[in-house]
Amino acid sequence: MKPTPCTSGLSEHAVMITRVADRQWHALDDDLVVGRGHAQHRPDGRLFISIDAWHDTAFDRLAEAMLKELPSPLYTVVDEADVELTAAWRRAGFTLRRREWEYVVPTDPQVTRLDAVLPPSGVTILPAGQADEGLLRAVDRAIRDEVEATVGWQSMPAEVVPRREGDTIVDPSEYAVAAAPDRYLGLIRVVTAIRPRIGLIAVRADQQRRGIARALLAHALTTLHRSGFAEAWTEVQESNQAGSALFETIGARRMSSNLELVR
């Protein structure tokens, strides 16, 4: 694709912004790549962009080119501690949409005090890999519909996992569930590919405040502890006070925060 020359101040040469693929851009300074931009649709349908640049000028030129060619709204996620990157996105017109706290969660039952936690009467916790796939998909869809009808699923932590269109269960083996005799009442997803991460814990609206979420969490953390993992990670939206309270009462520590920005 045809590059766009921009005066940069990086060198005596013009910076060239080139769209090298459908959703990828490069910033070139005298044929040297000094920045890269990328756009990707997340599973919830929103379009997120990222820029990795050596200099502010390269970042600004990449952002300018990408914003001209991509549809609105656009989103990005930054580590709140990265003040310079946050400022760069704000220069491009992005504003704060939400903040997510990142927690490190102990798995040792002696620390979490979850060793004595049991599910409520009539509820059984089925370990990951043992759930009926049809019932699992049914409870996932029911919970998503309930969230969408209230605060909206976009208020949930961003899920960056590939999936088929319309399919929100990528790998059923990652889910443990709370089961009643005729249906599933809640679920928890734990991914251990790089480091243990609790990606989702949710309970049907009419079954909340019964201790089901706590029982699912107790099961997941105990399973990780027995597998040799001392800690897990999770993200909780700043406004989700119940979620923060659930993790903080078992000894989870807030380690960092991410900002989701929108333009």
Q: Compute CA 94 distance to the chain's CA centroid, rounded to the nearest angstrom.
A: 19
Q: Give DSSP secondary structure letters for 17-79.
A: EEEEETTEEEEEETTEEEEEEEEEE-TTS-EEEEEEESSHHHHHHHHHHHHHHSPSP-EEEEE
Residue 4's pLDDT band, with cuts at 50, 70 and 90, is very low
Task: Flag whether 148 is in a domain.
Answer: yes
Residues spanned by the domain of 111: 101-258
* Residues whose CB falls within 8 Å of the CB of residue 214, separated by 6 or more in sequence, listed in order: 114, 117, 246
Share of the chain above pLDDT 90, in %: 70
Q: Do 65 and 190 share a structural domain?
A: no
- Phi/psi for 173 (5° steps) reads -70, -10
Q: Do 148 and 82 share a structural domain?
A: no
Q: Is the pLDDT of residue 252 over 50?
A: yes
Structure-token pair, residue 50: 């990222």
Q: Do 66 and 171 share a structural domain?
A: no
What CATH number is associated with residue 28?
A: 3.40.630.30
Task: Flag whether 263 is in a domain.
Answer: no
Number of domains the chain is built from: 2
Q: Do 137 and 77 share a structural domain?
A: no
Q: Do 10 and 123 share a structural domain?
A: no
Q: Do 113 and 44 share a structural domain?
A: no
Residue of 259, 256, 255 lying closest to 87 (CA atoms) = 259
Residues 51-88: tens digit of each pLDDT = 999 889 999 999 999 999 999 999 999 999 999 999 99
Once rounded to an integer, what is the mean pLDDT over residues 151-175?
Answer: 64
Looking at every residue in the chain, the average pLDDT score rounds to 88
Q: Do 112 and 87 share a structural domain?
A: no
Q: Do 184 and 82 share a structural domain?
A: no
Q: Do 123 and 51 share a structural domain?
A: no
Listed residues 98, 125, 148: the one ending a domain = 98
Residue of 209, 156, 159 lying closest to 186 (CA atoms) = 209
Q: Do 189 and 124 share a structural domain?
A: yes
Euclidean distance between the first and final Cα of the chain, in Å?
Answer: 25
pTM, full prediction: 0.77
Task: Flag whether 65 is in a domain.
Answer: yes
Structure-token pair, residue 113: 């005090």
